[in-house]
């Protein structure tokens, strides 16, 4: 049976340095992703705020009497059949 050798001091130092470099790189990329998520979130909030500015203005100008009209609406499409008759024979006429 083959016995595994214990790693040398140089191997341990290189492994520790590689581990620290990978840890720092992972932290840096996670910060970049966090900044991107925050920027996208702020942009979405700003867009929503901009699109609702007219609604907020209308709500501020609304009288504060507290009346709310609540209801339901149903749209009914009504079609009428129209028939155009060009010649009508009347019983009073004789040809």
pLDDT digits (tens, 9 = 90+) for 7-33: 899 999 999 999 999 999 999 999 999
pLDDT digits (tens, 9 = 90+) for 40-59: 999 999 999 999 998 888 87
Share of the chain above pLDDT 70, in %: 82
What string of H, E and C letters represents the secondary structure of 31-42? HHHHHHHHHHHH
> Which tokens is 78 given?
């009504």
């Amino acid at each position: 049976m083959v016995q595994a050798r214990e790693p040398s001091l140089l191997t341990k130092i290189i492994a520790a340095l590689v581990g620290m470099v990978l840890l720092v790189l992972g932290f840096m990329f996670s910060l970049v992703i966090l900044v991107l998520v925050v920027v996208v979130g702020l942009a979405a909030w700003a867009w929503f705020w901009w699109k609702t500015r007219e609604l907020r203005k209308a709500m501020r100008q609304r009288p504060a009497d507290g009346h709310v009209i609540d209801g339901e609406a149903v749209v009914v499409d009504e079609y009428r059949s129209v028939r155009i008759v060009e010649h009508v024979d009347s019983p009073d006429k004789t040809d």
